[in-house]
Amino acid sequence: MKMLNLKNILVAGATVALMSGCQSTKLGDVTGSKTGDAALLGAAGGAVAGQVIGGDTKATLIGAAVGAGLGAAVGHSKDKE
């Protein structure tokens, strides 16, 4: 397993800080549905996690895909409520 180095931690931190400005205050504000918003937030979080854990583009893309899928599933269940 790859050790986390300072560069990866700083990149992940900067990414989270920049993305937090794009986050809406309520689910449903950005795309009009909770599914879309949750998928967007899940993809962002998954991409950051993938980069920190794997440290390469492949891990980032896998993290984004998994995060988007999980986020969409959670958002869809919130839309049904």
Query: How far from 8 is each of 4, 22, 49, 53, 55, CA to CA, in Å?
Result: 7, 22, 11, 9, 7
pLDDT in 10s for each residue of the chain, 81 residues: 456 666 666 666 666 665 655 555 555 555 567 788 888 888 888 888 888 888 888 888 888 889 888 888 888 888 777
